Structure 1
C-alpha cells in the first residue's frame, strides 16, 4: 500500500486554524479580565458610597437619639423641629466640654445636653485614707439633666441628646458660660451659668427665644433632674442614714424620708436639695414651680456589696411657658452641707441641716453652733469638744444642783411618807391627801426634781442632732479616732453582730462605763426619794433595770455613730459625776435639810391656787367615793 503523507498545504491549514483558535481564546480571556476588573472597580465605588451613607446616618444619629428607624430620624430632623438641626452644623456639635472653676469648685459642662457633667469640690477629700481623691458630686454619668420639649405636631425632643453651642466670657471675677441650642441665628434655648469667685453657688438661667413657632407652649416643658449619689464617707450605712431629699414647698422646708422608696408631690417648690450627709446638690428657682414630683430610692441593701452609691434621687419639674417662651432665674449649689455657709445665702437652704425641730433647733442655732464654731477656730477639734462639754455642763450646774437638792429633801421625808403609807394603807385617797399636806408643810415640791431634768433634756437631744451634722468634725482626728465624724474602730470583728456591727469602737465603751457609774450613784437616791404609790410601778426596780439598760443601749447604738458624739457623752457623764460628788460633799447636808424641813413645818402655810385646787379635787373625789359606797 502507498504510505499516506501530509502535504505542505495541509500543514499550513492546521497552523492557520490553531492560530485562529488561540487568538479567539486570548481575546475571550482579555474580555473576562476587563469585565472582572470593571466589576471590582464598581464594587469599590458602591462600597465607598455605602460607607458615606452610613457615616452620614451616624452623624444624624448623634443629633436625634430615638429608637425608630433611620428614615424616621431623618424625618424628625427635617420636620417641625428640624430647625434644631442647625446646631448640628456648628463646630460645637461634638462630644466636648467647657470647664469653669474658682477656688472652691471645678465644673465641666458638656456640649451634648448643655448640663454639668462633672462637679468637683477642691477642698474636700473622699474617705479613703491617704487617697488624696477629691469629693466628686458628679462624674461618670451619675447625673442627668434634661428638658423635655414637645413640638406642635406632638413630637418629643430631649435636650440631653442635642448639641449646645458654648460661649465663655468673663465679667471681672465672674465666669459666664452661655450654652445655646440653636434652631437659627436668633432662635435658641439657652442655659446660662454664672460662677463667682470663692462661691459654691452659681446663677443659672433657663430661657428660650423665638421657639414659639415650633414648640407646643401650652404644655409645660418637663425639667428632669436625676442624681445617683456617690459614697463619700467611711461608713456607708451611717452616711446613708443622713442622705435624703429636702425641699421648700409653699414656703415650708420639709424632707421625703430615708426609706427604701420615698415619693412626694410638691405644690409650689422653690428648691430641691439632694443631700448626701456632708455634701449637697441643690437646684433653686426664684419662680415657684408647681406640681413637682420627687423620689428617693435606697441603693444600699447590703453594705458589704453596695459600696459605691447611696441613693437614687429623681425630680420632674414642669416649667411653664410665659408668652410662648421659657424664662426662669435659678441657682445651682454644689458644696458642703455646712449650716454657716448655707445660712449666708438667706434662701432657707440652711434648714436642710437636721438640727432638730422647735427648741432643739434653737439651742443648736443660738448656742451650740456659735460656741463650738468659736472654740474650734483656735484649737483642735477633740479638745474643742471637751472644752465645749465642760462649758455646757458648768452652765447647767445650777439646774443640776436644784435636782439633787430636791432628791435630798425627798429622801429626808421618806420615813414620814412611809409612815403615812402604813397608817392609811386601806385608804389610798386619804394617804394621798396627807402626803400632799406633808409636802406643803415641809415646803417640798415633789416635782422639783423632775423639772430640772426636763430642762436639761432639750440640751441632750440637741447634742444628738448637732454632732452628726457638724461637718467641722469630718476627717479630723483625736487620740485613736481618725475621723471624729465616723466611728473610732479599734478592732475589726471577723463576723457581724446584729445592731452592733462588725467592729469595736472605744469611745462608746468609755461613754457606757461613765453612764453605768453615774446611774449607779444616782439611782439609789432617786428610788428612795420617790414614795411608792399604790397602783404605780416600783421605781426601785425600774432604776435597777435602767442601771444596766442605759449602758447597753449606748454600746449598741453608738458603736457606728460618729466618735465626736460618743466623746461628748463620755466627757458629759464624767463631768456630771464630778459635779454630783462636789454638790453632795460641800453643798448638801442631810441634817441641815432635816432641820430646815422641821422649821418649815412650824411655820403657817398658805396654799397656792394650784395646791388649793388639787386639795379640793381630792376631797371631792373622796366624798364621791363615800357616796358610792352608800
Structure 2
C-alpha cells in the first residue's frame, strides 16, 4: 500500500477558502454604529408619538384656559391651524340631545357625530322588558373625516371637539356642530330633526377653511357601524342583516352575507345599514361620485357571538367647490317598514327583500296592502289566519283544475294500461297511441302540473313576505310570544345540528298537516298515473317524499318566524279540506267517465302546436328506428 504524503497545495487551497469565508463574513457583519443610530432614531420617533398621543389625550379631556401660553403652544404643535377648537369651553366630554316622539339622538362634542340613537316605540327581544332598541350606543358607530392641513398636519374629526349650538324653528330642532379653526372658519355638521319623523336633515359644510386645508382632493367621509342584535334569534336576524345601496339612478344592490364583502359602486344616492327590522340610512341629495363599502359577518358561533350581527363600513368623497364643501344629506334611523320607507319617495323601500320579478310584484301590490288592511282591524294572529283563508279561496279554482285533471287521468288509467300491454315491445308506438287517446278523450296530461306551477310564485312570495313584515314583531298569538320569531314551547339542554336548542310548536303542526296533505294528493296521483316502466321506482320515491318533506319542514322552520309556520299550518289544513270537498261533493268520476266516452265519439280536437310538435318528433324517431332496422 502506498503511503499518503503531505500535500502543501491542499493546505494552501484550504487556507484560501478559509480566508475568503472570513472576508465574506466580515463584509456582511452588521454595522454596530449604524444599528445604534437607527435604534436611537426609532426610540426618538416612539417618544414623539407617545408625546403627541399624550398631548392629544390632554386636548380631548380638558379645555384650554385662555391666556395659558404653554397649553396654546402644545395645541398649536399638535393641531396646527385647528388648535383654536380646543381652546373653547365646548372642548370637553359633553353631549347634546335632540328628540321627537319617535327617536332620540345624542350628539357628542367630541367628533360631532351621533353616539346614541334610540327608537322610542320599539323594545329589544321580549316586549315588556323595558329596554328600548338602540341602533347606536357604547361606541358601536363613528363618523370621521380625515383633514389634511396646509401646515402638514393630518387630523381626524372624530378626535376633535365641536362647538354645539341648538336652536328651534317651530317644531324643528336645529343642532349646529362646528369644528373651528377661528371664529369665522369652521367645519360644520348640521342636524335638523322634525316632529314625528325618523328622517332628519344632515349637512356638512365648510367656511373659511380654504387657507387651512388642502383642497386639491376631496375629503373622505367614513361611516362605521357594528349592528346590535335586537331579536330573540340572532341567527335568524343575522340572515336578514345586509348593507344595501342605491347607485346610478335608482339601481339597488346589496353586499351579501359572509365575511369581508366589498364593493365600489359609483353615483351612490344612499347607503343603508339594515338590521332586519331596523335600518340606519345615509342619503345624499347629490349622489356621491363613488363609495367604498365593506360588510363583515360577526356571528360565527351563535352561542358565543350574541351581541353584534354585522360590521358595516362606508367611505364616500366630499368634493370641494370653489374651495368649500356643502354636502346636503339625510339620516334615517328607524324601522325597516316597507310602507313607511315608501312614503319618503326616495326608493328606500327597495331595501326590504320582497323578492325579484313577479314575486316582488305580488308582495308589493297584493299581499302588503291586503295584510295591512286585515291587521288594522284585528290581532295579527287572526289576521294571518284570515289572510291565509282568502289566499286559498282565490287559489281554489287552480286546486280544482288540478284535482279534476287527476280524476280524468284516473278514469283513463285502465285504457292506458291496455295500450301499455298491447305495445309492450314498442315504447314509441305506445306513447303515440297514448297521446292519441288523450286527444280523442279531450284530456290534457299537463293540466295537473300547470296549476302547481301557477302556485309557485305565490308560495315563494309568501316566503319572502313574512320575514319582512315588521308588523309581526313582538305580536303574540296563542303560545307564541312573537310572531316574527320562533314559538319555543320547550328549551333543550343541548343543541341539535340544523334544528337548534328549542322545540317550536307551529312547525310541528305545519309538518303534520303537510304529511296528511301529501298522503292524500300522492295517493290520488299514484292511482291516476299510467303504468309505465320505471313507475315502481317513482312510486317508491313519492312515498319517501311523504315522510321527507314534513321532516324538512320541521327542521327548516324551527328557528323561523312563527307567523310563517302558522300560515303553512292553516294553508295545508284548508288544502286538505278543499280536496276532500272537491273529491267527495264536486268531482263525480262516473260523470267524468261518461263525458270522456262522449268526447271519444266526437271528432278529435285539432292538437295544439305543442302536441303536434311532440307527435311529429315521436313519428320522426319511429321512422329513424325503422330505417335503422332495414340497414
TM-score, normalising length: structure 1: 0.87
Contact between 1:107 and 1:116, CA under 8 Å: does it hold in 2? yes
Aligned to 1:191: 189
How far apart in 1 are the matches of 2:531 and 2:54? 91
Q: Secondary structure at the match of 1:507?
A: helix
Do structure 1's residue 485 and structure 2's residue 477 form an aligned pair? no
**Post-superposition offset of 1:288:** 1.8
Do structure 1's residue 453 and structure 2's residue 443 form an aligned pair? no
**Post-superposition offset of 1:530:** 3.0
**Post-superposition offset of 1:626:** 2.1
Do structure 1's residue 232 and structure 2's residue 230 form an aligned pair? yes
Contact between 2:281 and 2:333, CA under 8 Å: does it hold in 1? yes
How far apart in 2 are the matches of 1:281 and 1:371? 28
Aligned to 1:505: 504
**Post-superposition offset of 1:172:** 1.4
One of 143, 147, 150 as aligned partner of 2:148: 150
Distance 1:537 1:332, change over 3 A: farther
Contact between 1:524 and 1:540, CA under 8 Å: does it hold in 2? no
Distance 1:619 1:63, change over 3 A: farther
**Post-superposition offset of 1:78:** 4.6
Q: Using the TM superposition, name which of 123-132 and 157-166 deviates more.
A: 123-132
Aligned to 1:624: 624
Contact between 2:174 and 2:191, CA under 8 Å: does it hold in 1? yes
Aligned to 1:577: 576
Question: Runs of 5+ in structure 1 lacking a partner?
Answer: 1-53, 65-70
How far apart in 2 are the matches of 1:60 and 1:521? 77
Q: Secondary structure at the match of 1:247?
A: strand
Aligned length: 571
**Post-superposition offset of 1:610:** 3.0
How far apart in 2 are the matches of 1:267 and 1:535? 56
After superposition, where does 1:63-142 map in structure 2 within 5 Å?
Answer: 77-78=76-77, 82-128=80-126, 130-142=128-140
Contact between 2:147 and 2:156, CA under 8 Å: does it hold in 1? yes
How far apart in 1 are the matches of 2:590 and 2:582? 15
Q: Secondary structure at the match of 1:282?
A: strand
Q: Secondary structure at the match of 1:190?
A: strand
How far apart in 1 are the matches of 2:56 and 2:268? 42
**Post-superposition offset of 1:537:** 8.6
**Post-superposition offset of 1:58:** 5.5
Aligned to 2:327: 328
Contact between 1:508 and 1:559, CA under 8 Å: does it hold in 2? yes
How far apart in 2 are the matches of 1:60 and 1:316? 27
**Post-superposition offset of 1:445:** 0.7
Aligned to 1:33: none
How far apart in 2 are the matches of 1:388 and 1:309? 35
RMSD of Structure 2 on Structure 1 (CA): 2.2
Aligned to 1:297: 296
Contact between 1:439 and 1:446, CA under 8 Å: does it hold in 2? yes
What whole-Å deviation, never above 9, does each CA across 1:500-558 have from its counterpart, x for those lacking one?
11111100000000000000011011123233555789432222111001110111011
How far apart in 1 are the matches of 2:324 and 2:56? 32
Aligned to 1:245: 243
Question: Runs of 5+ in structure 2 lacking a partner?
Answer: 1-52, 64-69
**Post-superposition offset of 1:77:** 2.8
How far apart in 2 are the matches of 1:367 and 1:61? 55
Contact between 1:63 and 1:85, CA under 8 Å: does it hold in 2? no
What whole-Å deviation, never above 9, does each CA across 1:210-234 have from its counterpart, x for those lacking one?
2122222222211111111111111
Contact between 1:532 and 1:538, CA under 8 Å: does it hold in 2? no
Contact between 2:406 and 2:448, CA under 8 Å: does it hold in 1? yes
How far apart in 2 are the matches of 1:346 and 1:56? 48
Contact between 2:278 and 2:334, CA under 8 Å: does it hold in 1? yes
Aligned to 2:180: 182
**Post-superposition offset of 1:135:** 0.5
Contact between 1:60 and 1:74, CA under 8 Å: does it hold in 2? no
How far apart in 1 are the matches of 2:415 and 2:315? 70
